[in-house]
Amino acid sequence: MTTATPTTLSIKHLSKSYVAGKPVLKDISLDIADCGITAIIGPSGTGKSTLIRCINRLVEPTSGEIHFEGGNLVALDRSGLRLARRHIGMVFQEYNLVERLTVMENLLTGRLGYVSPFKAWLRKFPEADIARAFELLDAVGLGSFANQRADSLSGGQRQRVGIARALMQEPKLLLADEPTSSLDPKTSVEVMALMRDLCHARGIPVVVNMHDVELAKRFADRIIGMSGGNVVYDGGPAGLTDDVLKSIYGGEDWLQ
Amino acid sequence: MSSTAVQPPAPRVAFRTNWWSRAAWIALAIYVVYAMSRLEITWDRFVLGLGNGAKFLDRMFPPHIIQPDSLLKGLTESLEIAFLASALGILISLPIGLFAARNLMPVWATWPARAIIALCRTFHPVIVAIVFVKAVGFGAMAGILALVVASIGFIGKLFAEAIEEISLKQVEAVRASGAPFMSVIAFGVMPQVFGRFVGFATYQLDSNLRNSTMVGIVGAGGIGGTLFSAFQRFDYDFVCAILLCIIGMIMAGEILAQWVRKVFLERGKVDEE
Amino acid sequence: MSTTLVPDRIDAKTWTRFTPGQRFARYTVYFALVLALVVSARSVEIIPEFLWDAPEQMQDLFKRMWPIAWAHYPGGVHDALVETLHIASLGTLFAVIMAIPIGICAANNVVPSKPINYLAKLVLVASRSVNSLVWALLFVGVFGPGALAGTLAIAFRSIGFVGKLIGEALEEVPRGSIEALQATGSPWLSILSKGYWPAVEPAFWSIVLFRWDINVRESAVLGLVGAGGIGLALNAAIDLFQWDRVAMCLFAIFVVVIVAEIVVTQIRKRVL
């Protein structure tokens, strides 16, 4: 969906090298439109995860610009970055819940950027936040789990909590770093469907990186193929022919 | 969304209040107030002391070695006490620890061994030193004996625990070959606990070194005596010098112990694999 | 040594270069140990007459200790014993209050600043290197004899222990959940209270209980240098050669220490 909808996120000439002289991302430029799921696919070690993490600067970009909500994220100082991150939700491969907190508390960590540390410590969250947390819990099908500890949940349930936590932020953009890689195939589909439905209803664009091409084709509105730190494909799922896949992953034995 | 799960119960509480933990915090707060009033710990006393502390520090610096002979003698004696006590303590605690291991020994052996270990562990080495000063007179001997007791308590306990955690399969394999009891210990048990044994032996040497600088306070030899008498004469600059020497010695000991552990535990790791 | 032969052989194959070095290091340690022992044994001052006399003296001592002066407990020991417990508990509490910020500063993942980490670690090492009796001597000098000096001695000795373990526990917190909180734009303090704290809470209580147990033992001696507690009663009895009262004090210490240990193990088993 590279139609002329207003762009939410605009990445310009982004490069990242962990070791000087060995760039993982090579001069990437991308515009993410105002809705729909954008899937980034590509072989392991090609910088998909680095790209996603550069957007909210969990990984510091080496050079380039990332424009979001009218500002350049790369140029922000610590407190500016913190305020900007409040508008970017993130879902992780290993769920990254705080294991010893309850599901409800995990959801409310999505509001920590808005609540003073002292009030957060006393668990004095605004009524509206708590009401919305219950709403989201119902939406992800975990309505009765509010007071259960996160470490008592299954992988699929944890990832639902992860999605709900990200949506608690009322984000303008959702990043998902391999959200289904630790889940079984059935749960993966359920989680992706959940993410698509919830974000579609709220008009939140999603950038997700995944290694499962079929899953990407099924759920993504736009697919970005990466190889060796470069974008080699950018288009709809229909255009993802075997030739394109070969150019992304190399070789052909793995294609049926 | 496949599983629309169970319908949530009617009253929805975001956080369950943990009354137990609240009660515990309140109890703690009450206790603190009570205990502080009993010990007569007040802010005024504290502030008053801070003024004293400034004077005290002023008198401590610069450190000054008034009696170099006595300092040197005290330090060497502390070292000697620590070495001998560790060696003797480890030697004695090995059989006691072995006897206390419940997976290898019958009850009639573990019970008295455990009682000895508990008794040795209970008392601070300095208190034990008091008793030995009475028994063998002032001097290093009392210190050595006190630290031997401490070592037995510590190493005996850990050694017994280490043996209790070993895999009995290996022991059984050696037993099955018809080996006599001592060989079972030497080939079935010792190799399995050697790595950890080095760990706590060096730890004990370290700990004995620390305590050997203290037993002198009650007359059981070492630098502690020099330190205490300097205190009582208000020679705070000498006190400061002695303290710096003790800290230096302990830190050197700690580094040395770490190095020894590294030398031996690399092999210990290979053993595990 | 049937079981160690095999690893040694693996050693030889993969680490040929290091094996002689390791051997050398090990023999150096053995040699140094034996040398140290021999030198110590030969030069340490032991008066043989005293040693031969020891069994007799010990017997005499135990004879004087028995029967234990039970009657002395209500008047002379009870208050001192309770004071000892207060010193241990309050000392642990003060230590924990001071150790938490220092421990946080020592953990590189929480405070990513090497100079602050090193400074915090230096404070922790300094606290641990000074024995609680020495701390007690210093605080008796500053605050005068009494329980205040003892409490502070226990507190300052414990800071290093508690702070070091808190720092290590914090450094072991998995990065993932912390990263997730950072990604929500949480302020540092909230990440601390909602990310790090839940993860280290069990370790924290375990450390506190462990140290309290040690402090009960340690606070019993502080009285020997005038810093309050049962050590004072013990010292007084020793100075007056009232060995039956000494036995009473020792027995009281024994019971309290054992009870403290049982309490700690039970709490650890049930709650943590």
What is the set of domains in chain C, with CATH numbers? 2-62 (no CATH), 69-270 (1.10.3720.10)
Domain count, chain A: 2
Domain boundaries, chain B: 68-272
Which of B154, B138, B140 has its CA nearest to residue B205?
A: B154
Position A65 scores a pLDDT of: 92
Position B204 scores a pLDDT of: 86
Q: Could you tell me if A38 and A79 lie in one domain?
A: yes
As a whole number of angstroms, the distance between CA B70 and CA C3 comes to 50
CB contact under 8 A, B141 and C51: yes
pLDDT digits (tens, 9 = 90+) for C62-97: 888 888 778 777 887 888 899 999 999 999 999 999
- The ipTM estimated for the assembled molecules is 0.89
Position C115 scores a pLDDT of: 94
For residue A185, whether the previous peptide bond is cis, meaning omega lies within 30 degrees of 0, is: no
Helix (H), strand (E) at residue A234: strand A230-235
Position C272 scores a pLDDT of: 64
Q: Could you tell me if A239 and A183 lie in one domain?
A: yes
Q: Could you tell me if A218 and A239 lie in one domain?
A: yes
Cβ distance A15 to A63 under 8 Å?
A: yes
Interface test with A, best of C181, C184, C190, C194 (most A CBs within 10 A): C184
Q: In sequence order, what DSSP letters do the residues of chain B get, joined into one string? A: -----SPPPSS--SS---HHHHHHHHHHHHHHHHHHHHTT--HHHHHHHHHHHHHHHHHH-S---S-HHHHHHHHHHHHHHHHHHHHHHHHHHHHHHHHH-TTTS-HHHHHHHHHHHHHHHHS-HHHHHHHHHHHH-SSHHHHHHHHHHHHHHHHHHHHHHHHHTS-HHHHHHHHHTT--HHHIIIIIIHHHHHHHHHHHHHHHHHHHHHHHTTGGGGTSSSHHHHHHHHHHTT-HHHHHHHHHHHHHHHHHHHHHHHHHHHHHHHHHHHHH-
Q: Could you tell me if A14 and A70 lie in one domain?
A: yes
Q: Could you tell me if A74 and A137 lie in one domain?
A: no
pLDDT, tens digit only, all 272 positions of chain C: 334 444 444 444 444 445 677 778 778 888 888 888 888 877 777 777 767 777 888 888 888 888 877 877 788 788 889 999 999 999 999 999 999 999 999 999 999 999 999 999 999 988 888 888 889 988 888 888 888 999 999 999 999 999 999 999 999 999 999 999 999 999 999 999 999 999 999 999 999 999 999 999 899 889 888 888 888 888 888 888 888 888 888 899 999 998 998 999 888 888 76
Residue in A closest to B11 by C-alpha: A144
As a whole number of angstroms, the distance between CA A167 and CA A175 comes to 11
- Tell me the residue range of the domain where A134 lies: 92-151
CB contact under 8 A, B124 and C220: yes
Q: Could you tell me if A102 and A70 lie in one domain?
A: no
* Residue A38 domain flag: yes
Q: Could you tell me if A82 and A125 lie in one domain?
A: no
Which of C133, C140, C154 has its CA nearest to residue C87?
A: C154
Backbone angles phi, psi at A144, to 5 degrees: -95, 10
C198 part of contact set with chain A, CB < 8 Å: yes
As a whole number of angstroms, the distance between CA A91 and CA A58 comes to 13
Residues of chain A neighbouring B6 (CB-CB closer than 8 A): 143-144
Position C4 scores a pLDDT of: 40
Residue A116 region, left (φ>0) first, then alpha (ψ -120 to 50), else beta?
A: beta
B10 part of contact set with chain A, CB < 8 Å: no
Backbone angles phi, psi at B61, to 5 degrees: -110, 140
CB contact under 8 A, C40 and B260: no
CATH of the domain at A221: 3.40.50.300
CB contact under 8 A, B191 and C4: yes
Under CATH, which number does the domain B68-272 receive?
A: 1.10.3720.10
Q: Could you tell me if A97 and A138 lie in one domain?
A: yes
* CA distances for A43 relative to A47, A100, A152, A212, A251, angstroms: 9, 34, 33, 10, 11
Q: Which residues of chain A fall below pLDDT 70? A: 1-6, 252, 254-256
Q: Could you tell me if A25 and A80 lie in one domain?
A: yes
Residues of chain A neighbouring B2 (CB-CB closer than 8 A): 141, 190
pLDDT, tens digit only, all 273 positions of chain B: 444 455 544 557 778 878 888 899 999 999 999 998 888 888 888 888 888 888 888 888 888 888 888 888 889 889 888 888 988 898 898 889 888 888 777 888 888 888 899 888 888 888 889 888 887 888 888 889 899 999 999 888 888 888 888 777 777 777 788 777 777 777 777 777 777 778 888 888 888 888 888 888 888 888 888 888 888 888 888 888 988 888 888 888 888 888 887 777 654 443 332
Cβ distance C230 to C81 under 8 Å?
A: yes
Q: Could you tell me if A17 and A67 lie in one domain?
A: yes
B203 part of contact set with chain C, CB < 8 Å: no
Position B10 scores a pLDDT of: 52
Q: Could you tell me if A78 and A120 lie in one domain?
A: no
CB contact under 8 A, B39 and C228: yes
